Structures are given as structure tokens and as C-alpha cells.
């Protein structure tokens, strides 16, 4: 049976005050070789991180190879019951440290509505603009709720036509 490793990382400062990756969690995940569709991404986020069960908004970054194999998962924001701030710099520090060629961001809406807010559209646009400059493909922004999700890529809301992967 196919499988992949799910590794959650955080960022810490080393003795020279440089950002370094620290592994928090690692798990073998059977069933998929790659996260090449929003359905698969949502399933992994639910199975491993229980994203729709969280009472506050959490945003995760998934860093991947060009073949959509996950390199690392990062919690990039933990907010309130209806908002989570995310910095573009913080997303790309993590993506570049682990050598990602593709990224996906995923967050939950504890209120149960998967439809994006204006803030969700603004974050998507800022990350998309930065990804174009950095040469890292921003594949999707997915909002998860219990029993449903919204994929910016599936709904063609990424600010440009979908280019390739998820």
C-alpha cells in the first residue's frame, strides 16, 4: 500500500539567531503517495490534525515537492473563534527553509461556514503575489469546516488560472 510521512515542524532560533527547523511530530500515513487534490489534503488535515474540531482558527502551511509529496506541515497561525492573522514572511521562511517548490495553506472556520471572508481573499492574494516573486507555486488555499470545505483552486479564486498541481 502506498504511503507518505507526515512531519510537523516549528521554527526556532539557533545559537547565532538563525531560523532552523525543529521536528515536532512525525507519522507514517498510509493510502496516498502525494497530496495532489483538495480532497486528499482535507482528509489528511482531518485525520492527522483534526482541524474541523478546533474551537479557534488555525492555519497550516503544507510544503511540498513539485510532485505534491509533503515535505513538512507547519502551524503558521492560531487565532480567535473567527480570525487568524498570518504573515507572508512567516509562510515563506518556512517554505524556503524546507526547500518547498509547492505550498498549500489550510485553515478552519469554527463557525461552520466554509465560504471565505474578505480577509481570506486578501491573504490568498498576498501569498499568491509573493509566491510568484519567490518562484514557489502556491497551489491552493483550503478552508475546512465539519463536513465541508472550500478550495480556492477548485473554485478558480486563486487570482489567476490554476497552473498545474492541486
Per-residue pLDDT of the chain (166 residues; tens, 9 = 90+): 578 999 999 999 999 999 999 999 899 998 899 999 999 999 999 999 999 999 999 999 999 999 999 999 999 999 787 777 889 999 999 999 999 999 999 999 999 999 999 999 999 999 999 999 999 999 999 999 999 999 999 999 887 654 444 5
pLDDT digits (tens, 9 = 90+) for 81-108: 777 788 999 999 999 999 999 999 999 9
CATH of residue 106:
3.40.140.10
**pTM (predicted TM-score):** 0.91
Residue 159 within a domain: no
Strands (E), the chain: 3-13, 19-30, 58-64, 70-78, 102-108, 137-145, 148-151
Alpha carbons 145 and 129: distance in angstroms, whole number: 26
Residue 95 within a domain: yes
Domain that holds residue 65: 34-151
Residue 54 within a domain: yes
User: What is the predicted pLDDT for the residue at 12?
Assistant: 95
Residue 68 within a domain: yes
Residue 136 within a domain: yes
Residue 57 within a domain: yes
Residue 67 within a domain: yes
Tell me 117's DSSP state: P
Q: How many structural domains does the chain have?
A: 1
CB-facing half-sphere around the CA of 165: CA atoms within 13 A = 22
* Long-range contact pairs involving 85-88 (C-beta distance under 8 Å, separation at least 24): 86/59, 86/123, 88/126, 88/127, 88/130
Residue 162 within a domain: no
Amino acid at each position: 500500500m502506498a504511503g507518505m510521512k507526515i512531519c510537523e515542524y516549528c521554527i526556532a532560533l539557533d545559537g547565532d539567531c538563525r531560523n532552523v527547523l525543529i521536528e515536532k511530530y512525525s507519522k507514517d500515513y498510509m493510502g496516498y503517495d502525494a497530496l495532489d487534490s483538495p480532497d486528499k489534503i482535507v482528509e489528511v488535515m482531518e485525520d492527522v490534525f483534526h482541524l474541523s474540531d478546533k474551537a479557534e482558527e488555525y492555519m497550516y502551511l503544507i510544503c511540498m515537492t513539485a510532485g505534491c509529496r509533503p515535505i513538512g506541515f507547519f502551524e503558521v497561525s492560531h487565532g480567535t473563534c473567527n480570525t487568524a492573522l498570518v504573515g507572508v514572511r512567516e509562510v515563506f521562511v518556512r517554505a524556503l527553509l524546507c526547500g518547498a517548490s509547492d505550498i498549500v495553506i489550510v485553515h478552519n472556520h469554527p463557525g461552520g461556514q466554509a465560504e471565505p471572508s474578505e480577509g481570506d481573499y486578501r491573504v490568498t492574494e498576498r501569498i499568491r503575489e509573493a509566491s510568484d516573486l519567490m518562484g514557489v507555486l502556491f497551489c491552493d488555499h483550503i478552508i475546512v469546516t465539519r463536513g465541508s470545505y472550500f478550495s480556492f483552486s477548485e473554485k478558480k479564486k486563486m487570482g489567476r488560472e490554476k497552473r498545474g498541481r492541486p
